[in-house]
């Protein structure tokens, strides 16, 4: 057998392995219902093995294809793959500090409007780059920024806004972009929980200067680890690529040389004329690339992404219908006006009452094999790592604190089926019967 024949045989055997190892997994009542989990079939395994047989150990043909296809899906011009959603946030925000942006660049001491109710890595790049986060409260039903407080957060140091679409629910992009345009602010959209969400019929990630997504197994599609920076700005794309790739000025892909055609003819900084462009560094950067094996999995997942998004919406609506009878005790989630969320989870806020607390409910659900998660950091300013950071807080963050004490979410991921939703509904019914 030649190489091609052996490769074909290996891929056929990979399909057989999937059928034996994974295809028979089925839910039985009483099995644990995750809040999130990867959903895949034989195609992900085939792509993964196919890529491994190339033994191309960094980004390659699959990464190139994915970046093009995902940019098309997200309606942006550019997609830059990185090794996680957190790295995507770091690269996207750090891009705005580049000297190549001239007077527009973000500098240490500048302020960035954000929220404390969310995941830390939306905030971390602000702090890591020496800027000052300005924390604004959120709404309880949408869990997104209170746009009426934006003017209170503004100062002569305000230069950017960086916030996430919480659990897939778009923040008020109309108000945010109007405010940003009025005051000439950069906007970074953290879409790590919101792939496929739309606002006024337009995909999130297309409004701001930069956007980010995550491909962690819990998210809308997965590469295992992985993430991406999105933009339609050519200059920001080049800068982001530099920060991802060690800070180098050259934008050649792995294994490529002299893409610019001026590899040995230019002068940079105080380097000698003709210094190899592949070793010129215009930023203090990182190495945050993916492997082609990750991108290979992503290509198979991308084909499923539209169906994943629809299934999340369906599961969200079915769970909401089951829980509406408990609205005396719960604040149930509401989509932001003019939006169609691709939900990451189903958030529930327990109203103040004398019968039960959030913790009592989540412990009951966990005991009954329904996984729960809190709304990430709750109030990040009260987390150990953030107690002494330089920041400004607008108002008392009353709703953020309420979320910290009373909010949790359960899963809506595509692997949850009607049988599992019926079990979730039954568990809530049993909990309230025990209270009576």
Residue 24's pLDDT is 82
pLDDT over threshold 80, residue 436: no
Degrees, nearest 5: CA angle 390-395-400 = 85
**Per-residue pLDDT at 27 exceeds 80:** no
Q: Is 219 tagged catalytic?
A: yes
Q: Which residues contact 77 (CB under 8 A, 6 or more apart)?
A: 71, 231, 232, 233, 234, 237
Q: What is the pLDDT of residue 258?
A: 81
Do 167 and 219 belong together in one domain? yes
Least confident interval from 74-88, 262-276, 350-364? 262-276
CATH code for position 144: 3.40.640.10
Q: Is residue 167 part of a domain?
A: yes
In contact, 66 and 298? CB cutoff 8 Å? yes
Question: Mean pLDDT throughout 336-343?
Answer: 98
One domain, residues 112 and 238:
yes
Which conformational region is residue 323 in: left (phi greater than 0), alpha (psi within -120 to 50 degrees), or beta?
Answer: alpha
pLDDT level of residue 285 (50, 70, 90 thresholds)? very high
- Host domain of residue 137: 45-294
pLDDT in tens, 145-187: 999 999 999 999 999 999 999 999 999 999 999 999 999 999 9
In a domain, 19, yes or no: no
What number is the average pLDDT over the span 385-409? 98
Indicate if 73 and 180 belong to the same structural domain. Answer: yes
Among the candidates 236, 264, 294, a domain finishes at 294
* Whether the predicted pLDDT of 250 surpasses 90: no
- pLDDT above 80 (res 314): yes
Residue 80 lies in a domain: yes
Q: Are residues 284 and 420 in the same domain?
A: no
Q: Is pLDDT of 255 > 80? A: no
CATH number at residue 389: 3.90.1150.10
CB 87, CB 288: distance < 8 Å: yes
215 and 70 inside one domain: yes
Residues 123 and 247 in one domain: yes
Q: Which of 270, 294, 318 is the last residue of a domain?
A: 294
What gap in Å lies between CA 274 and CA 166, rounded to an integer? 49
Q: pLDDT band for 118, please (50, 70, 90 cuts).
A: very high
Express as a percent the part of the chain with pLDDT over 90.
93
Residues 254 and 335 in one domain: no
Do 281 and 319 fall within a single domain?
no
In a domain, 113, yes or no: yes
Which is catalytic among the residues 219, 220, 277, 283? 219
How many domains does the chain fold into? Answer: 2
Q: For the residues of 370-407, what is the DSSP string, one character each?
A: B--EESTTSSGGGSGGGTT---EE-TT-HHHHHHHHHE
d(CA 135, CA 397): 8
Question: Do 230 and 167 have their domain in common?
Answer: yes
pLDDT at 409 over 90: yes
Q: What is the mean pLDDT of residues 379-393?
A: 98
16 found inside a domain: no
Q: What is the pTM of this model?
A: 0.96
Please identify, among 294, 319, 352, the residue that sits at the C-terminal boundary of a domain. Answer: 294
Residues 6+ apart with CB under 8 A from 160: 93, 96, 106, 110, 112, 113, 131, 185, 186, 187, 188
Residues 94 and 235 placed together within one structural domain of the fold: yes
Name the one residue in this structure whose structure tokens are 């800027």.
131
Count of C-beta atoms within a 10 Å radius of residue 36: 23
Confidence of residue 251 (pLDDT cuts 50, 70, 90): confident
Whether residue 144 is contained in a domain is answered as yes
Q: What are 287's two structure tokens?
A: 């190495």
In a domain, 383, yes or no: yes
Answer whether residue 18 shows pLDDT above 80: yes
The pLDDT assigned to 99 comes to 97
- Using CB atoms within 10 A of its CB, is residue 414 exposed (0-12), middle (13-18) or buried (19+)? buried
Residues 284 and 317 in one domain: no
Q: Is residue 22 part of a domain?
A: no
């Amino acid at each position: 057998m030649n190489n091609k024949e052996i490769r074909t045989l290996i891929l056929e055997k990979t399909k057989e392995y999937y059928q034996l190892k994974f295809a028979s997994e089925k839910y039985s009542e009483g099995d644990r219902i995750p809040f999130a989990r990867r959903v895949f079939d034989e195609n992900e395994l085939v792509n993964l093995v196919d890529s491994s047989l190339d033994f191309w150990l960094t980004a390659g043909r699959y990464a190139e294809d994915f970046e093009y296809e995902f940019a098309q899906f997200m309606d942006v011009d550019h997609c830059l793959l990185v090794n996680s959603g957190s790295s995507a946030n770091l690269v996207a925000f750090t891009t705005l500090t580049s000297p190549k942006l001239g007077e527009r660049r973000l500098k240490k001491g500048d302020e960035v409007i954000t929220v404390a109710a969310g995941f830390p890595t939306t905030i971390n790049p602000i702090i890591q780059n020496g800027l000052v986060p300005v924390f604004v409260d959120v709404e309880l039903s949408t869990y997104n920024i209170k746009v009426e407080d934006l003017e209170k957060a503004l100062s002569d140091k305000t230069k950017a806004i960086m916030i996430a679409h919480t659990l897939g629910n778009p923040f008020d992009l109309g108000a945010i972009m109007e405010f940003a345009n009025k005051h000439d602010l950069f906007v970074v959209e953290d879409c790590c929980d919101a792939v496929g969400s739309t606002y006024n019929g337009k995909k999130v990630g297309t409004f701001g200067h930069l956007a980010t997504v995550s491909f962690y197994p819990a998210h809308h599609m997965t590469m295992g680890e992985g993430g991406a920076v999105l933009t339609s700005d050519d200059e920001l794309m080049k800068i982001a690529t530099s920060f991802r790739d060690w800070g180098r000025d050259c934008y050649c892909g792995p294994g490529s040389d002299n893409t610019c055609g001026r590899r040995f003819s230019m002068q940079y900084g105080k380097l000698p004329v003709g210094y190899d462009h592949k070793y010129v560094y215009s930023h203090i950067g990182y190495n945050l690339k993916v492997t082609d094996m990750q991108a290979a999995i992503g290509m198979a997942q991308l084909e499923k992404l539209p169906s994943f998004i629809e299934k999340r919406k369906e599961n969200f609506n079915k769970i909401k219908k089951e829980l509406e009878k408990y609205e005396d005790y719960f604040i149930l989630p509401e989509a932001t006006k003019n939006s169609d969320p691709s939900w990451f989870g189903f958030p529930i806020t327990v109203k103040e009452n004398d019968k039960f607390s959030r913790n009592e409910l989540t412990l009951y659900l966990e005991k009954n094999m329904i996984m729960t998660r809190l709304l990430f950091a709750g109030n990040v300013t009260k987390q150990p790592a953030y107690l002494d950071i330089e920041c400004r807080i607008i108002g008392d963050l009353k709703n953020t604190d309420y979320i910290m004490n009373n909010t949790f979410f359960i899963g809506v991921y595509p692997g949850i089926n009607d049988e599992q939703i019926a079990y979730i509904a039954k568990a809530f019914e049993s909990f309230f019967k025990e209270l009576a």
